[in-house]
Amino acid sequence: PDSVYRTEEAKLRAIATEALRRNVAGQPILIGTTSVESSERLSKRLTSEPLRKLALVLLLRDRWFTANNAQEDGRAIEALKPFDKPLDSMTPSDMRPMAKELGLTLNPVTDENLSRLAALLDLPADSTGTLKAALEGGIKHRVLNAKKHDEESQIILSAGALGAVTIATNMAGRGVDIKLGGEFNENVLRGVNRVLKRAGESNAFEMRNEERLGALEKIGPNQYLIYGEDAVAFLKHMADEQTVRALGGLHIIGSERHDARRIDNQLRGRAARQGDPGSSRFYLSLEDELMRRFGGSNVSGLMETLKIDEALPIEHNLVNRTIEQSQQRVEGFNFDSRKHLLEYDDVLNQQRTKIYEQRQRIFTKDDLTEDVDDMLVAEVTRRVTLGAAQNEGWWKFLAWLDEVQPTQQRADGSLFFPFSIE
């Protein structure tokens, strides 16, 4: 199900938290966005400083609830509201008073804080080292948008590698399958095939990777010879692939709903392809463009009235219906636009057909006298009808006659005057 938050800030925090948790575990993540600006904004949230601030906010909230013997029940806590402000504008001085009161060190990478943070993120106790590295250096990730179109396919190919984090617009890299464990060089596979061929595997080049792995494990490293590096790289790749499968495969995070549900389904379809494991979840806010246009403000106002905690996602049928109805309205509007465009095209096509019919008749008919006479009669009849229907119509009719038949000189030198002079 979708996780819906009242503010965009809360949504960005939830995405960063989920990315941190899964990245520390080693699961590959693909974060889909609807625009280049959104992808760059999310990229900044995965750097060290915002992640450290986010970790401190999580620790402060947890310490406050523990100290006050309270549980998160969805209601907004007045004492915690200052921590709802954007992380970009939050400073250590904003956290220091409460941290001092609760006895919390404002350093998220101390042993005590790391252990508690790992528990909050549902991570094993032995993952504190990886968690510390992520907080100190940020989450290593790659951004795929219109600015890097030449690297598009390569970035997508490596998006399924162990611990890979990729931020991409929803339309980027379409048509490229994301393989679990990442893509390895074909030269590596070629070297492994040669090793197996020497070891007596006659069909090495036709084997599946799992079969190659089993055959390679049966022979000793002393038979790798000059292809030792290729064999080691292949074994590491297969080990990473098995680890990624055990972690649940590729996880898709949608940062915003697209106008069309078809695009959202395409993003979800990046995971769990061809029998591979995978998962997906969308993180939305009532301040998203789609929600702002179609009723998101009503739900947001209701949340403020009921004093619901911004840090917690909304789970209500009203929100789900609002999202679905919003997309249906946009899809209906787009359908009507395409329908009208098709109707305009039909009109142009009818005109085009008539013109081509006349053009073809001119090319194929020997004598066009009757056709020209019919056109002259039709035009003169139209002009006469207009002249009879208007007060000054006959003057306009004479002006038209002068225009189509001005003064001309006959063969004998005399002049043929227009109708107005005659």
Got the DSSP string for 151-171?
A: GHHHHHHGGGSTT-EEEEETT
Is residue 245 over pLDDT 80? yes
User: How far is residue 149's CA from residue 170's CA, in Å, rounded to a whole number?
Assistant: 14
CA atoms within 13 A on the CB side of 57: 24
Alpha-carbon dihedral sign for residues 287, 290, 293, 297: negative
Over residues 209-225, the mean pLDDT reads 89
User: Helix, strand, coil proportions of the chain in percent (round to 5)?
Assistant: 65, 10, 30
Angle at 141 between CA 137 and CA 147, to 5 degrees: 125
> Could you report the per-residue pLDDT of 50-63, keeping only the tens digit for each?
999 999 999 999 99
Closest CA to 50 of 87, 97, 2, 100: 87
Give me the half-sphere count of Cα atoms (radius 13 Å) on the Cβ side of residue 9. 15
What per-residue confidence (pLDDT) applies to 50?
96
Query: Where would I find the H helices in 199-288?
Result: 209-218, 228-247, 261-268
Q: What is the pLDDT of residue 158?
A: 86
**Token pair recorded at residue 342:** 């098709």
What does the block give as tokens for 10? Answer: 């809360």
**Mean of the pLDDT values across residues 22-44?**
94
Tokens 């948008």 identify what position?
A: 145
Q: Is 7 left (phi over 0), alpha (psi -120 to 50) or beta?
A: beta
pLDDT computed for residue 20 by the predictor: 97
The Cβ of residue 180 has, within 10 Å, a number of other Cβ atoms equal to 23
Q: Which residue has the higher pLDDT, 265 or 421?
A: 265
What is the rounded distance in angstroms from the CA atom of residue 204 to the CA atom of residue 230? Answer: 15
What local confidence, expressed as pLDDT, does residue 147 receive?
Answer: 65
Q: Which residue has the tokens 């591979």?
A: 276
Distance CA 269, CA 327 (A): 19
- pLDDT at residue 362 in the model: 85
* pLDDT higher than threshold 70 for residue 295: no
- Copy the structure tokens of residue 95: 């956290």
3-state SS, one letter per residue, for 231-256: HHHHHHHHHHHHHHHHHCCEEEEECC
Which residues are within 8 A (CB) of 34 and not within 5 positions of it... i.e. 6 or more apart?
169, 170, 255, 256, 258, 289
Q: Please check the confidence at residue 149 and state whether its pLDDT lies above 70.
A: no
Separation CA 330–CA 260 (nearest Å): 7
Q: Do residues 36 and 143 touch, judged by C-beta distance below 8 A? A: no
299-357 confidence digits (pLDDT tens): 667 677 767 888 888 876 767 777 777 788 888 888 888 898 999 999 999 999 999 98
Among candidate residues 46, 49, 26, the one with its CA nearest the CA of residue 127 = 26
- How far are the Cα atoms of 171, 183, 209, 211, 267 from residue 214, in angstroms, in the given order? 38, 20, 9, 5, 34
- Rounded percentage of the chain residues whose pLDDT exceeds 90: 48
State pTM to two decimals: 0.79
Q: CA-CA distance, 338 to 308, in Å (whole number)? A: 41
> pLDDT > 70: what percent of the chain?
94
| Residue 150 pLDDT greater than 80, yes or no | no
Q: Tell me which amino acid residue 342 is.
A: L
State the pLDDT at residue 174. 64
On the question of pLDDT at 172 being above 60, the answer is no
The span from the CA of 232 to the CA of 226, in Å, is 12
Residues 247/26, Cβ–Cβ less than 8 Å = yes
Determine the Cα–Cα distance for residues 336 and 331; give it in Å rounded to an integer: 9
Burial of 127 (0-12, 13-18, 19+ CB in 10 A): middle
Rounded Cα–Cα distance for residues 107 and 168 (Å): 32
Q: Supply 156's token pair.
A: 């997508």
The per-residue pLDDT for range 376-422, each reduced to its tens digit, is 899 989 988 888 888 888 888 888 888 888 888 888 888 888 777 76
Distance in Å from the first CA to the final CA of the chain: 87
pLDDT of residue 257: 87
